[in-house]
Amino acid sequence: MSEPKSQANGLSTRVAQASAAVVAVGALLLTFDVTAQEQRGWGWLVLVAGVLGLLVAGVMRGAEDAATVKAPLVADAPKGKAATWLGVAFGVGVLVQAVIPLRYYFGDDAYDERFAWRMFSNVRVYRCDLGAFETRDGYERPVNLMETIHVGWGSLLRRNREPVMDAWLEWRCEQEGVSAARLLNRCVSPAGERAPDVRRAIDCERGEITEGGEE
C-alpha cells in the first residue's frame, strides 16, 4: 500500500510544482505587461491558469489522503447517566418549543399574532372602526386617538392587542379628572362579515379593567 500511496502523492506534488512554475511565469508576464502598458497582454491568463492548477493539486492531495483512511472518525456514543441526561435535555427542549406556540393556537385571544405566520394571518386585513371614550364630571366624551397617542399605538389598538388596550386605559386614568375610559372596536373581515365587537373598559377608582362597557 505504501508504494501506490507514494506514487499518488507524488502525482499531486508534481502538479503543484508545475502549477507554481506557471504562476511564477504568469507573474513575470503580468509585470512586463504592466510595465510596457500593454492592454492586451496574456500575463493574467497564464497567472489564472497556474492558480487553477494549484487548486486542482490541492483537491487531488485531499482525495489521496481520504483514500488512505482505514476507518471513519466516529466518536463513541454517550453511555450511562450521560446518555440519559442528554435524552432528557433534548426532550425538554422539544417540549418547550412545542408548548409555547400552543399557548397561542389554543388561546382565546383571536387577535394575538405573536406566533402567527404573517402570510396566513387575516387580522391585518380587517377593516376596523375604533372608538375611544372617557368620562369626566359624569359625562362621557369621545377621545381623538390620533391627537393623544403615537400612530403606532393606534395601529395596535385597531388590531385589538389587549396589552396595548389595557395600557391605554390605565394611561387615561392617570389624566386629571378622568373617572372612566373605554374602547370599542368594530371590525369587518375581507369577506364583509362583521366580527364580534371588542369592548374594554376601566373604572379608574377601582382600577379594574373589564371586557364590555356601554354601547
Euclidean distance between CA atoms 125 and 161, whole angstroms: 15
Domain limits of the chain?
A: 2-67, 127-211
Give per-residue pLDDT as tens, 7-20: 556 777 888 888 88
Q: Which three cell numbers stand for residue 182?
A: 373605554
Per DSSP, the chain holds a count of helices (H) and strands (E) of 6, 5
Q: Which three cell numbers stand for residue 161?
A: 392587542
Q: Which three cell numbers stand for residue 69?
A: 483512511
| pTM given for the model | 0.48
Give per-residue pLDDT as tens, 109-141: 666 665 555 445 666 678 888 999 999 988 999
Euclidean distance between CA atoms 194 and 187, whole angstroms: 6
Euclidean distance between CA atoms 89 and 45, whole angstroms: 57
* DSSP classification of residue 149: S
